[in-house]
Amino acid sequence: MKKWFSTPLAAAVMAAALIGGPAAIPAVAQGAAQGLPGGQNPGAMIQELMKGLNLGPMMMSFGGASGGMIDFTRSNERNLLKRADVRSELFIDSKQREQLASLETQGKQQMQQVVMQSAMKAFVNNPDLQNIGDSIKNSGNGAPPDLTGLKDALNTGFQQMQETLQVFQAGQDEKSEAVLRPKQQKRLHELDLQYRGLLALSERKVADSLKVTQDQRTVVEGALKDYMDAQMKAMQPIMNQAAQLGQQAAANGGQPPAGFNPQAIQKNVNDLLNSDELKKARTTAEDKVKASLTPEQRTAWTGMLGQKFVFRVLESK
């Protein structure tokens, strides 16, 4: 008999990588619940696993990489450069457009490789995780197994993947920025801060530039967590759908099920991110951060934003 962990979880991780969007991440949890000891309910196991998985940061990194979500903890400049309204504001010329398009094409291919390799290392070829899986399978007696070790191992894997993805993204950001002229770079920095808002203070570099204190950093971290919790709650139906897709993919050798439409999933995510519910949650979070700043810091922050820019609401496709 094949190990309960290896094939199903590998398939689920591959499905998540193929989908390439934040809504697919719960597929990993789906794969982890396959091949349980006799009498165990995979659905119940998935729900239990999901409760203990710290998916927020990972979703933000994946979503920020694909442009569907805002990653407040790091620059979103490369995704902003894909927008027509931002390109017009920066006066991006035709040669620069070609260079950026080439970098984007290369980046997509490289990112898929990075994600796949990172997933293989963090999950599929992780002997510690395989040992935990064997222990759960052999727990016997029909009693619900202790999932603490599995949750911790999966969360560690998610963190490793997130860190790897962030390093890759930073390298891509540098390549894109090198295409721009100094004035364009400066304005892009300003637009990035406007796009992320005060939650951008969750990035150490931005916080340091505003001389944010440790107490203020704690407020920022709490505000960001509140927003991410609201986002996770709002996205639960989409995540449940992704978990079902992961189960189907795991049963199909890692291949997306027939009729799978990643564009439709991304449209649902985009519509949700632009919902009044999440706009209100973000405003509440930013108000908490603003209240923690001194008058001098607020003035300095306004100066960092440059001239106000109104981002167009992008239509979901």
Instruction: Report whether 157 contacts 123 (CB < 8 A).
Output: yes
- Report helix, strand or coil for 281: helix
- Report helix, strand or coil for 28: helix
Condensed to tens digits (0 to 9), the pLDDT of residues 256-298 reads 677 667 677 777 777 887 889 999 999 999 999 999 999 999 9
Closest to 188 measured CA to CA, from 199, 179, 196, 177? 177
Q: Identity (one letter) of the amino acid at 118?
A: S
Condensed to tens digits (0 to 9), the pLDDT of residues 14-73 reads 444 433 443 344 444 444 444 444 445 555 665 666 666 666 666 666 655 555 678 899
Closest to 17 measured CA to CA, from 67, 81, 65, 51? 65
Instruction: Report yes or no on whether pTM surpasses 0.95.
Output: no
- For 255, the token pair is 């291949």
Question: Domain limits of the chain?
Answer: 6-305
- For 166, the token pair is 């962030």
Average per-residue pLDDT in the chain?
77
pLDDT class for 213, splitting at 50, 70, 90?
A: very high
Q: Any idea which residue has 């449940």 for tokens?
A: 240
How many helices (H) and strands (E) the chain has is answered by 16, 0
What are the residues whose beta carbons fall under 8 Å from the beta carbon of 99, sequence distance 6 or more? 179
The pLDDT of residue 177 is above 80: yes
